[in-house]
Amino acid sequence: MNFEHVAGKERGKITLYALSTCIWCKRTRELLTALGVSFDYIYVDLLKGEDRTKAIEQVKHYNPSTSFPTLVIGDKSIVGFREKEIREAIG
């Protein structure tokens, strides 16, 4: 699975599972970029075969409803574009 890496300030491991067509996902990505933190993201809808299955499993682990965006910050997960929570979690 190839995550896209966005360079920035180190705030621990931040992973964003997103869909390429979803505007809330886009807003989440933009917020992380604006906050200037280092993070990895992946568009699950663009994956195929094993990569897709693997990514879905990872999302499900944090968020049983497998909805997007699912943002994983360390061992905490935030489902949906929840600006306040995301800002707080990143600090």
Partner 1 sequence: MNENFSEPNDSEVDELYARLDREAKQGGYFLNPDVEFVKGLVRGLLINERRYGYRACPCRLAADDKQQDLDIICPCYYRDADLSEFGACYCALYVSAAVLKGEKEPSCIPERRQPFMGRAAKPGSSGASPDAAPVKLSVPVWRCLVCGYLCGRERPPEVCPICKAGRERFERFI
Q: Is 85 exposed, middle or buried (CB count within 10 Å of its CB: 0-12, 13-18, 19+)?
A: middle
- Provide, rounded to whole angstroms, the least separation between the CB of residue 43 and partner 1: 10
CA atoms within 13 A on the CB side of 22: 19
The residue to which tokens 């944090």 are assigned: 62
Strand bridging mode 14-18 / 39-43: parallel
Residue with smaller CB distance to partner 1, 6 or 19: 19
* Residue among 6, 11, 12, 24 that touches partner 1 (CB under 8 A): 24
Q: How far is the CB of 37 from partner 1 (least distance, A)?
A: 20
CB of 10 to partner 1, least distance (A): 27
Considering only 20, 36, 54, 88, the residue that binds partner 1 (CB under 8 A) is 20
Owner of token pair 């390429």: 20
User: Of residues 33-62, which lie at the interface with partner 1 (CB under 8 A)?
Assistant: 44-45, 48, 56, 60
